[in-house]
C-alpha cells in the first residue's frame, strides 16, 4: 500500500486548476430554464387540436404552475445534495413543493365534479401515450441533469437521483397534461402518477452506477489527462 | 482540534488556492487535514487496524481531491471536509459488512499444501534485486510510474489512475510495456 505522504505528493503533483461549481440555486435555475423551454417546445410540437384551450382552465393550470415550482425546488435540492456540507433546508423545501404539487393534482382530480364522468382507470387508452411522453420525453432531461450532477460529489446517489427524477417527472407531466384534452382527470392522475413513479424508480436504481465515487474519479482523471494533453 | 493545527479559515484559503492550481498550497492543505481525518477515523473505527485506518484516510484524501471543485469559498471549509469523511466512512462500513458476510476466516494456513514441491516454498526466488531496481529506473517516465504505482505500491487501477491523472487503459498499456521491457532487460543480463 502507498504511504499517505506519497499519496499527497502524487495528488499535488497532478493537481490541475478547477472551476468551482456555481451555487446549487444558480445551477438549478440554469437547468430549469433549458428544461422548461424544451418541455414548451415538445408540447407545442405534439399538441392536438383543442389542447391549448385547456390552459385557461384553472383546474388544469394551477397544478401545472405548482408543478413548475416543485420541479425548481426538487432540482435545487438535487444540486445541493452533491455539495458536501450543504445545509438540508433545500431538501425540506423540495418535500414541501412535492407535497403541494401532489395535493394540487389530487384536488384537481378528485375535487368538485371532475369525477362525475370518469371512465374506468385502466380503460383510458390515450393515457398510454402520456406515459410514453413522460418517460421518453423526460429521458433527454434525465441525461442532461445526470451530466450536470456528475460534476458534484456523489454523497447520496439515490436521494440525488430521486430528487432529479421527481423534478423531471413533474416537468414532463406538464407536457402530458397539455398535449391532448383529458376527459377524465382521475385516470390522468393515476396514469401520469404511475409513469412518474416508474421514472423515479428507474433513476434511483441506476443512480449508484452513474453517481459513484469511482465514476467521479474516472471523470476527474480524464479531465486531468485532457488538460495534460496525454493519451 | 490540536494546538498545532492551522485555523479553519486558513484551510479554506488553501483550498481556494488549490482550486486555482497551487500545488504547494494543496500539499499544505492535505498535510494539515490528514491528522484531523485520521482522528475522526480512529474515533469512528476504534477497533480498526492500522492498515484499515490508513486505507480510509487515503480514500478520504482521494475523495477530497475528486470533489475539490464543489468547495464553495463562501462557505466554511470544515463542514465540507467532514461531510466527505462521514460519507466515506459510511461507504467503508457498508463495504466491510458486505465483505465480512462473504468471507470465512481460516486460521490453519499451515494445513494447506500443494502437490508440486516448489509451490510450498515460503519464499520465491526473486533474482537480482539490484538489477531489477536499475531496470525500473531506466524505464520511460510513464512506464516507471505505472510500475511503481501498480506493482510496487500495490494501488488498484482506479486509485493509480486518480493519483497519476492517467486513464485506466493507458496505465494498463504502460504496465504491459514496462513488464515486457523489464523482462527483456533482465534476460539479457543473465
Nearest to B72 among A12, A23, A224 (CB): A23
Cβ pair A7:B71 closer than 8 A: no
| Secondary structure string (H, E, C) spanning chain B | CCCCCCCHHHHHHHHHHHHCCCHHHHHHHHHHHHHHHHHHHHHHCCCCCHHHHHHHHHHHHHHHHHCHHHCCCCCCHHHHHHHHHHHHHHHHHHHHHHHHHHCCCCCCHHHCCCCCHHHHCCCCCCCCHHHHHHHHHCCCHHHHHHHHHHHHCCCCHHHHHHHHCCCHHHHHHHHHHHHHHHHHHHHHHC
> Residue A230 has what pLDDT?
37
CATH of domain B8-102: 1.10.1740.10
Rounded to two decimals, the pTM is: 0.73
Residue A115 lies in a domain: yes
pLDDT along chain A (231 residues), means of 10: 83 90 94 94 80 65 88 96 90 94 84 53 65 90 95 93 95 82 74 91 93 82 55 31
Q: Do B153 and A214 touch (CB under 8 A)?
A: no
CB distance B55–A1 less than 8 Å? Answer: yes
Half-sphere exposure of A212 (CA within 13 A, CB side): 12
Distance CA B22, CA A13 (A): 10
Average pLDDT taken over every residue of chain B: 81
Question: Among candidates B89, B75, B85, which has minimal Cα distance to B15?
Answer: B75
Is residue A7 a part of any domain in this protein? no
- Confidence tier at B96 by pLDDT (50, 70, 90): confident
Q: What angle do CA A36, A27, A30 make, to 5 degrees?
A: 30
Residues in A 141-160 with any Cβ partner in B closer than 8 A: 151-153, 155-156
Best residue in B163, B168, B172, B177 to probe A by mutation, most A CBs within 10 Å? Answer: B163
> Is B49 in the A-facing interface, judged by CB distances under 8 Å?
no
Facing residue for B158 by CB, picked from A20, A86, A214: A214
Please answer yes or no on whether A217 and B158 come within 8 Å at the CB atom: yes
Cα separation, B154 vs A124, in Å, equals: 61
Q: Please tell me if residue B153 touches chain A, with a CB cutoff of 8 Å.
A: yes
Q: Domain tally for chain A?
A: 1
- B172 contacts on A by Cβ (under 8 Å): none
User: Do residues B57 and B64 lie in contact, with contact meaning Cβ atoms separated by under 8 Å?
Assistant: no
**Fold that domain B128-189 belongs to in CATH:** Arc Repressor Mutant, subunit A (1.10.10)
| CB proximity B68 to A under 8 Å | yes
pLDDT at B64 over 90: yes
Q: Which of A109-113, B7-11, B78-82 bottoms out in mean pLDDT, i.e. has the lowest?
A: A109-113
Of A18, A153, A228, the CB nearest to B19: A18
**Separation between Cα atoms, residue A82 and residue A94, nearest integer Å:** 15
The confidence score (pLDDT) of residue B119 equals 58
- Contact yes or no for A85 and B66 at CB 8 A: no
User: Which residue of B27, B68, B83 is in closest CB contact with A85?
Assistant: B83
Contact with chain A for residue B167, Cβ under 8 A = yes
B57 → closest Cβ in A4, A18, A21: A4
Q: How many CA atoms lie within 13 A of B59 on its CB side?
A: 21
pLDDT value, residue B123: 47
Residue B54 reports pLDDT greater than 80: yes
Q: What is the mean pLDDT of residues B130-143?
A: 84
Examine residue A12 and state whether it is found in any structural domain, yes or no: no
pLDDT score recorded for residue B108: 59
User: Can you give the length of chain A in residues?
Assistant: 231
More confident residue, A150 or B141: A150
Q: What is the span of the domain harbouring residue A35?
A: 23-226
Give the domain ranges of chain B: 8-102, 128-189
d(Cα B63, Cα A16) in Å, to the nearest integer?
A: 15
Tell whether the model's pLDDT for residue B32 goes beyond 70. Answer: yes
**Domain-located, residue A120:** yes
Rounded Cα gap, residues A82 and A100, in angstroms: 25
Residue of higher predicted confidence among B75 and A60: B75
Average pLDDT, integer, range B28-54: 87
Q: Which residues of B touch A17 (CB under 8 A)?
A: 19-21
Taking the Cβ of residue A10 and every Cβ of chain B, the question of whether any pair is shorter than 8 Å is answered with yes
Q: Is A125 a domain residue?
A: yes
The pLDDT value recorded for residue A63 is 84
Once rounded to an integer, what is the mean pLDDT over residues B45-67? 86
Residue A156, exposed/middle/buried by CB under 10 A (0-12, 13-18, 19+)?
middle
Higher pLDDT, B179 or B129: B179
Neighbours of A37 (CB within 10 A): 10
Q: Is residue B97 very low, low, confident or very high in pLDDT (cuts 50, 70, 90)? A: confident
Does residue A11 form part of some domain? no
User: Which residues neighbour B37 within 8 Å (Cβ) at sequence distance 6 or greater?
Assistant: B57, B60, B61, B81, B85
Show the 3-state SS of chain A. CCCHHHHHHHHHHCCCCCCCCCCHHHHHHHHHHHHHHHHHHHHHHHCCCCCHHHHHCHHHHHHHHHHHHHHHHHHHHHHHCCCCCCCCHHHHHHHHHHHHHHHHHHHHHHCCCCCCCCCCHHHCCHHHHHHHHHHHHHHHHHHHHHHHHCCCCCCCHHHHHHHHHHHHHHHHHHHHHHCCCCCCHHHHHHHHHHHHHHHHHHHHHHHHHHCCHHHHHHHHHHHHHHHHCCC
Per-residue pLDDT, A169: 93
- Torsion angle (degrees, nearest 10) of CA A60, A65, A71, A74: -110
Q: What is the pLDDT of residue B3?
A: 47
| Other C-beta atoms lying within 10 Å of the C-beta of residue B95 | 11
Residues A106/A189, Cβ–Cβ less than 8 Å: yes
Residues 16-35 of B with CB under 8 A from A: 18-24, 26-27, 30-31, 34
Residue A89 at interface with chain B, using a CB cutoff of 8 Å: no
**Hey, of B21, B66, B92, which one would you mutate to test binding to chain A, going by the most A CBs within 10 A of its CB?**
B66
Nearest CA in chain A to B57: A4
- The grid coordinates of residue A12 equal 499535488
Amino acid at each position: 500500500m502507498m504511504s499517505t505522504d506519497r499519496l499527497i505528493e502524487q495528488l499535488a503533483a497532478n493537481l490541475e486548476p478547477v472551476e468551482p461549481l456555481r451555487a446549487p440555486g444558480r445551477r438549478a435555475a440554469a437547468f430549469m430554464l433549458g428544461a422548461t423551454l424544451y418541455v414548451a417546445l415538445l408540447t407545442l410540437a405534439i399538441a392536438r387540436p383543442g389542447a391549448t384551450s385547456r390552459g385557461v382552465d384553472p383546474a388544469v393550470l394551477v397544478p401545472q404552475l405548482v408543478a413548475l415550482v416543485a420541479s425548481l425546488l426538487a432540482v435545487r435540492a438535487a444540486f445541493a445534495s452533491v455539495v458536501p456540507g450543504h445545509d438540508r433546508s433545500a431538501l425540506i423545501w423540495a418535500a414541501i413543493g412535492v407535497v403541494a404539487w401532489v395535493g394540487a393534482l389530487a384536488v384537481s382530480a378528485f375535487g368538485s365534479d371532475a369525477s362525475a364522468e370518469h371512465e374506468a382507470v385502466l380503460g383510458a387508452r390515450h393515457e398510454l401515450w402520456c406515459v410514453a411522453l413522460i418517460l421518453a420525453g423526460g429521458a433527454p432531461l434525465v441525461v442532461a441533469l445526470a451530466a450536470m450532477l456528475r460534476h458534484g460529489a456523489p454523497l447520496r446517489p439515490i436521494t440525488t437521483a430521486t430528487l432529479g427524477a421527481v423534478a423531471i417527472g413533474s416537468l414532463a407531466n406538464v407536457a402530458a397534461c397539455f398535449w391532448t384534452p383529458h376527459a377524465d382527470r382521475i385516470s390522468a392522475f393515476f396514469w401520469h402518477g404511475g409513469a412518474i413513479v416508474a421514472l423515479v424508480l428507474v433513476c434511483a436504481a441506476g443512480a449508484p452506477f452513474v453517481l459513484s465515487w469511482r465514476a467521479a474519479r474516472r471523470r476527474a482523471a480524464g479531465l486531468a489527462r485532457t488538460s495534460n494533453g496525454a493519451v | 482540534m490540536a494546538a498545532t493545527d492551522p485555523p479553519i479559515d486558513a484551510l479554506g484559503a488553501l483550498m481556494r488556492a488549490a482550486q486555482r492550481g497551487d500545488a504547494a498550497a494543496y500539499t499544505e492543505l492535505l498535510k494539515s487535514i490528514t491528522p484531523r481525518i485520521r482522528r475522526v477515523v480512529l474515533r469512528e473505527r476504534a477497533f480498526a487496524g492500522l492498515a484499515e485506518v490508513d486505507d480510509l484516510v487515503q480514500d478520504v484524501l482521494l475523495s477530497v481531491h475528486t470533489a475539490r471543485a464543489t468547495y464553495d469559498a463562501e462557505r466554511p471549509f470544515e463542514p465540507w471536509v467532514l461531510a466527505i469523511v462521514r460519507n466515506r466512512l459510511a461507504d467503508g462500513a457498508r463495504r466491510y459488512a458486505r465483505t465480512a458476510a462473504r468471507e470465512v476466516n481460516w486460521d490453519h494456513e499451515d494445513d494447506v499444501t500443494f502437490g508440486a514441491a516448489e509451490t510450498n516454498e515460503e519464499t520465491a526466488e526473486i533474482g537480482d534485486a539490484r538489477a531489477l531496481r536499475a531496470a525500473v529506473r531506466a524505464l520511460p517516465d510513464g512506464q516507471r510510474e505505472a510500475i511503481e504505482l501498480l506493482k510496487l505500491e500495490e494501488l488498484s487501477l482506479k486509485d493509480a489512475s486518480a493519483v497519476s491523472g492517467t486513464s485506466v487503459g493507458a496505465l494498463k498499456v504502460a504496465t504491459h510495456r514496462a513488464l515486457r521491457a523489464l523482462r527483456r532487460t533482465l534476460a539479457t543480463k543473465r
